[in-house]
Amino acid sequence: MVVFAVVFRAHLQALLDRHGIAGFLWFSVFGGLAWGFAQELVYRGWLQTELTRRFGTVAGAIAANVVFTFGPLHFDHFGGADGVRWGSLAAVFAIGLFFGIVYARSGNVWIPATMHGLWPPNMS
């Protein structure tokens, strides 16, 4: 998280400047946590758990992550003036796979949910 905070410090500073500290905490930190928890509960806690039960750990984690990457939450990467943004989709897939591995190894959905929620680009 520290590395992300350093890499995205300009983004975080812009959010602080725009909303102030109270607005940043409310909209960015708490909003990001809520959004991260919701996504991880669905994609890891429910979908990955069920797919892992049916197809095994590796196939279940990859399949859940494919749905996470190419599902409705990331449709904005498929169109627009620039066409499909494959780099963005690859980044979403990579971070989602990381969250899936963390969940598979820990068995605790709250760990990737917190990591997802506090990921600086998730904060708007």
Q: What is Dmax (Cα atoms) for the chain?
A: 48
Which tens digit of pLDDT belongs to each residue from 33-79?
Answer: 888 899 999 999 999 999 999 999 999 999 999 999 988 877 777 87
Give the distance from CA 54 to its chain's centroid: 24
Report yes or no: 56 and 48 within 8 Å, Cβ to Cβ.
no
Domain ranges of the chain: 2-122
Residue from 118, 105, 119 nearest 48 by CA: 105
Which tens digit of pLDDT belongs to each residue from 88-122?
Answer: 888 889 999 999 999 999 999 999 998 888 775 55
Whole-structure pTM value: 0.77
Residue from 49, 42, 33, 34 nearest 1 by CA: 33
Question: What size, in residues, is the chain?
Answer: 124
Other beta carbons less than 10 A from residue 25's beta carbon: 13
Task: Kindly list the distances between the CA atom of residue 80 and the CA atoms of 75, 77, 84, in Å, as whole numbers in the listed order.
Answer: 10, 8, 8
Please tell me what DSSP assigns to residue 71. S
Which tens digit of pLDDT belongs to each residue from 76-89?
Answer: 778 777 788 888 88
CA dihedral 18, 20, 26, 32 (to 10 degrees): 50
